Structure 1
């Protein structure tokens, strides 16, 4: 079990606070393991073993605890009588109306509660109704490039970061893929299983979708268009060209369900002149690059889009709100915003001509403010500064602590 301090430290800051700590994210991204890390941290506070209750509700061991009534009765019977009880409830969405149980325990008992979940029920209206103001949500992501480097060192000789970046982009960041050495084909078999279980358990079965082929075609369209703006109308037009009729509302509904299962991330456009979020022509990014390759197969032509995807996820991990920037008729790959900071970023695999250089840097030079601006690339370049714009190798940016 390799420590993931970025999440443990963030969550432990709220230990013993009167909030339910909710860990969400795509299946197999490491939520259950992080929960075990939190238990280890709690034990360091001289907490007794019988003060800690840990349940994994996707296990057959707790098959009979599927209702709020059964869960409440069981937990009430096992609460520690001499002080605070620490409750760790893994894959809690398997229990119907679990929000009511957690709310009741928070109200009537001395408890500190941590839960994980992998689908939209974690952010449902019931959750907002019963736990308003009483929970903090933490999004867990597959391994970052930095975490990938640490994982890899456990079982193989790690090459320099610039070389390793190509392996990371191709194999992705699901922890299960990096517990030993796998070929790309073996890795994609693991990721395809994660994809299938998410699609058919968290989307098809839970939402009683009958036209599964429609959903899968929309998935493939989204996966094939990572980093490109598109609308429901463009998806409908594409499907119509394949003699598949589907209305815009259904497309949006499917895309929303893919977001709810944490497979897709929606990235809105931000008008840098009008200072407003635009509601059309959004981009979608994947929870992990290996999802694309496990579904569509590997193609060298897709690497540039996946590099962009990797940067997008890293900015989210670091707590930024991320948008596609619109400036007149040009586009800035990412505008990353925190209350105290803002970054402008262009991502490119390589700059092979003066025209490409002028295009990539010129877009950033047109932004008239003093926030940091970056061009991130994977080819060789001379110098690290271009008229105030910082140039970095993507691997160095991902490992940097400066932003």
Structure 2
């Protein structure tokens, strides 16, 4: 592309982003302060996550005034090639002078971008964003070993949803029955609409459009999928049957694909696009983890409800999904590593085993404990003792208490508190 063509696109994109930020109600994202601090100290930050989760706005707000911002998911840049990157930099210099920050939005659209970013990282503060977890698994991961930080951005948390609704959690709000009642009412709305910014702004109708774009563009087009109808059925099945165990062979029989490797690839494509996450069964033996059935959880509660094949999804499963996503979100936003497993043996199941900083925390999720206390708490205690832990957590819709049995302390926490003020770490 010619420098003059690139200039027109850069100016247009800047005007569009400035107008969007002025026009829309922008909520400060939870990792925003940390992102600003990290990128201000230099280096390369990769913001990854599902399409339409707010990566562009976060990168725009975090990158200061003297920036080169370019979104490569723009049809006007369809002819842009790796050889044009230097022209891009020169175009920005001619327009606004030497940039301090460089933001390359959806940069994976350009083949060969890795070498340019690696070179930029030596002299500029760089943010790259992408809708595929493969962004850092190729050459860039080799070039930038030890020189970059990555963040997975999720749709709005419940706390961010409250801010968007204009509801501020004042100091001591948990002691106000009126405030708690209002939070629970908004939680009902959040579990229905989810956290995609467009869904929160304009309604659930946008969820189907977001889902279609992810499947059609980020998965089928990018990976040149042959069995398109089978992948659509597979995706819809997994999005609707989250928290249930599955095997690749069983999925293959459901959608009519005999090759287990193809099914495994298709599930990995869904995961790479951040549409869903796989959860392995807990075991101290790596081989047992690989060979055991797995579970999946969609990236958003609203998206899961929209795609559910059931008119009224089980309340306990929706709460379970909200808990899983909050755990994933907090690990990502605190820039700490961790893993989530589930536990199943011949005596029962525990929904999650959180592994973080060398510690394990068993977590059970149920709508209510009435009549289930012995079973739910009993499983937690049994598993905690087998793992050598003295803590456990139960998340319900409204129950709240502290239970200590056999030397194991169990916090029973309502979902509204878990999503706002409770720290499980």
The answer to whether TM tops 0.5 is: yes
Please report how far the alpha carbon of residue 196 of structure 1 lies from its aligned counterpart in structure 2 after TM superposition.
Answer: 0.7
CA distance in 1: counterparts of 2:412 and 2:305, whole angstroms: 29
Aligned 8 A contact 2:219 2:273 in 1: yes
Please report how far the alpha carbon of residue 57 of structure 1 lies from its aligned counterpart in structure 2 after TM superposition.
Answer: 1.7
CA distance in 1: counterparts of 2:364 and 2:262, whole angstroms: 33
In 2 relative to 1, CA 220–246 (structure 1 residues): closer, same or farther, beyond 3 Å? farther
The DSSP-based 3-state class of the residue aligned with 1:55 is strand
Aligned match of 2:81: 67
Please report how far the alpha carbon of residue 160 of structure 1 lies from its aligned counterpart in structure 2 after TM superposition.
Answer: 2.1
Bigger mean CA offset, 68-77 vs 197-206? 68-77
Within 5 Å, give how 1:245-324 maps onto structure 2: 245-271=257-283, 278-279=289-290, 280-296=292-308, 299-319=311-331, 320-324=338-342
The answer as to 2:363 corresponding to 1:345 is yes
Within 5 Å, give how 1:198-277 maps onto structure 2: 198-239=214-255, 244-271=256-283
Please report how far the alpha carbon of residue 177 of structure 1 lies from its aligned counterpart in structure 2 after TM superposition.
Answer: 1.4
Aligned 8 A contact 2:353 2:363 in 1: yes
TM-score (norm 2): 0.81
Bigger mean CA offset, 262-271 vs 115-124? 115-124
Write out per-residue CA displacement over residues 261-280 of structure 1, whole angstroms, 9 at most, x where no aligned residue: 110101112126x6987112
CA distance in 1: counterparts of 2:228 and 2:306, whole angstroms: 18
Aligned match of 1:57: 72
Aligned 8 A contact 1:270 1:276 in 2: no
The DSSP-based 3-state class of the residue aligned with 1:15 is helix
Aligned match of 1:359: 375
Aligned 8 A contact 1:271 1:326 in 2: no
TM-score (norm 1): 0.85
CA distance in 1: counterparts of 2:400 and 2:321, whole angstroms: 25
The answer as to 2:199 corresponding to 1:177 is yes
Please report how far the alpha carbon of residue 377 of structure 1 lies from its aligned counterpart in structure 2 after TM superposition.
Answer: 0.8
In 2 relative to 1, CA 237–61 (structure 1 residues): closer, same or farther, beyond 3 Å? closer
Structure 2 residue runs of 5 or longer lacking an equivalent are 1-24, 168-177, 332-337
Aligned match of 1:46: none
The DSSP-based 3-state class of the residue aligned with 1:227 is coil
Aligned match of 2:121: 106
Aligned match of 1:35: 59
Write out per-residue CA displacement over residues 130-165 of structure 1, whole angstroms, 9 at most, x where no aligned residue: 3232221100000111111111227xx996222322
CA distance in 2: counterparts of 1:72 and 1:82, whole angstroms: 15
Q: Work out which of the residue numbers 73, 78, 85 in structure 1 matches 2:92.
A: 78
CA distance in 2: counterparts of 1:254 and 1:382, whole angstroms: 41
The DSSP-based 3-state class of the residue aligned with 2:30 is helix
Within 5 Å, give how 1:17-36 maps onto structure 2: 17-36=41-60
In 2 relative to 1, CA 258–233 (structure 1 residues): closer, same or farther, beyond 3 Å? same
CA distance in 2: counterparts of 1:232 and 1:72, whole angstroms: 45
Within 5 Å, give how 1:324-343 maps onto structure 2: 324-326=342-344, 329-339=347-357, 341-343=359-361
Q: What is the number of equivalent residue pairs in this alignment? A: 376
Q: Work out which of the residue numbers 165, 189, 193 in structure 2 matches 1:167.
A: 189
Q: Work out which of the residue numbers 8, 33, 37 in structure 2 matches 1:9.
A: 33
Aligned 8 A contact 1:264 1:286 in 2: yes
Please report how far the alpha carbon of residue 370 of structure 1 lies from its aligned counterpart in structure 2 after TM superposition.
Answer: 4.1
Please report how far the alpha carbon of residue 344 of structure 1 lies from its aligned counterpart in structure 2 after TM superposition.
Answer: 1.8
